């Protein structure tokens, strides 16, 4: 007699997410940008600014150690490059994609740049200013409030950071 073979468990269903799925491809590019940071001892955070038609007009990774600049966060680097390319400070119609929830400084820079949408990956519960510790970009007292889409490829983004911090111990 043949014993019944155990039925393997089904993999967790991958549910489509119409809000987040469309940002997965640019988030993968931001993750690739973040991977450039550890070469200089910088925490792997990567950011892109997409123009109104989805083209990349700015990119940056955390370069605080590389440049010795406390403001050298990925978002600020990407926003500066985008503004240079556009030729003005106003980035209306643009989207910023970043692997980690922006801090208060970056959230402030994003509001000042008039970027319309912020897409981020991992939550930063210790310093995040896009819903975790503060919610600067959706503060109704400010006159510009970008749309915020959190948690795009959050696991991949978080894993990249964890892997980096594991090597630092
Ligand atoms: Zn920041």
Q: Which residues hold their Cβ within 5 A of ligand 1, which is an ion?
A: 73, 103, 105-106
Summarize pLDDT for 88-139 with one digit per residue, the tens: 999 999 999 999 999 999 999 999 999 999 999 999 999 999 999 999 999 9
Summarize pLDDT for 124-136 with one digit per residue, the tens: 999 999 999 999 9
Q: For 117, phi and psi rounded to 5 degrees?
A: -150, 140
Indicate if the alpha-carbon torsion angle 100, 106, 108, 111 is positive or negative. negative
Structure tokens at 55: 């083209």
3-state secondary structure the chain: CCCCCCCCCCCCCCCCCCCCHHHHHHHHHHHHHHCCHHHHCCCCCEEEEECCCCCEEEEEECCHHHHCCCCCCHHHHHHHHHHHHHCCCCCCCCEEEEEECCCHHHHHHHHHHCCCEEEEEECCCCCCCECCCCEHHHCCCCCCCCEEECCCCHHHHHHHHHHHHHHHC
User: Which residues fall in the annotated binding site for Zn(2+)?
Assistant: 73, 103, 106
Q: Say which of 75, 81, 101, 125 is annotated catalytic.
A: 75
- 75: annotated active-site residue: yes
Residues written for the chain: 169
| pTM for this predicted structure | 0.91
Is the pLDDT confidence value at 13 over 80? no
Q: What percent of the chain has pLDDT over 70?
A: 98
Summarize pLDDT for 14-51 with one digit per residue, the tens: 788 989 999 999 999 999 999 999 999 999 999 999 99
């Amino acid at each position: 007699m043949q014993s019944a073979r155990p039925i393997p468990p089904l993999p967790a269903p991958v549910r489509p997410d119409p809000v987040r799925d469309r940002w997965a491809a640019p988030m993968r590019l931001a993750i690739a940008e973040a991977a450039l940071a550890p070469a200089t001892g910088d925490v792997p955070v990567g950011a892109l600014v997409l123009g109104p038609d989805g083209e990349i007009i700015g990119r940056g990774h955390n370069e605080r150690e590389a440049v010795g600049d406390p403001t050298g966060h990925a978002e600020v680097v990407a926003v500066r490059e985008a503004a240079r390319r556009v030729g003005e400070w106003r980035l209306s119609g643009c989207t910023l994609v970043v692997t980690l929830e922006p801090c208060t400084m970056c959230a402030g820079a994003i509001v000042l740049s008039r970027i319309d949408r912020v897409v981020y990956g991992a939550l930063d519960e210790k310093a995040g200013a896009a819903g975790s510790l503060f919610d600067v970009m959706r503060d109704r007292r400010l006159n510009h409030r970008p749309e915020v889409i959190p948690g795009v490829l959050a696991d991949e983004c978080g894993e990249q950071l964890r892997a980096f911090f594991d090597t630092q111990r």
